[in-house]
Amino acid sequence: MVLDFVAGTDPKFRDALLVRQAVFVEEQGIDPEIEVDEYDGICWHALAYLGDRIVGTARLVTLDRFTAKIGRVAVLGEARGRGVGTALMRLLEDYARREGITRVVLDAQFQVIPLYEKLGYEAEGEPFLDAGIVHKRMTKTL
């Protein structure tokens, strides 16, 4: 697996959009009008490749001096269970640590909560709907 880390203005960001289109829009039925947002151009995107094929992506948005949010974590179906999501999360967490971030938050879809728990995230608060899908806020101290 090859990992890359790009700004939202980098041409490789298009690879992230391909994965997000496949996972969020086509697989999960999320409205394509809300899938790309104002944060994409100002945050960092992690990309995962198996061979020359893009198979996963995630992004990191800085919320304040010490807090960042990981989101848009997506792995193509054929690459799930192969450590892609874990590798993307670790890449973003390592970058956040180097930047002085001490707390990371994310909004997890219920089916991936076990992955985030294995990575040290803790659920907090009540479940909520985002794009018609039930999520739970999770946090981790770095």
3-state secondary structure string across 67-104: EEEEEEEEECHHHCCCCHHHHHHHHHHHHHHHCCCCEE
Q: What is the pLDDT of residues 67-88, one digit of tens each?
A: 999 999 999 999 999 999 999 9
Distance from C-alpha of 12 to C-alpha of 105, rounded to nearest angstrom:
25
Categorise residue 134: left if φ over 0, alpha if ψ from -120 to 50, beta otherwise.
beta
Question: What tokens were used for 21?
Answer: 């289109």
Q: Which residue has the tokens 């994409």?
A: 40
pTM of the model: 0.94
CATH of 2-141, one of 3.40.50.620, 3.40.630.30, 3.30.460.10, 2.60.40.10: 3.40.630.30
Residue ranges of the alpha helices (H) in the chain?
13-20, 32-35, 84-98, 113-118
The pLDDT of residue 104 is 99
The pLDDT of residue 61 is 98
Domain boundary assignment for the chain = 2-141
Which stretches of the chain score pLDDT less than 50? none
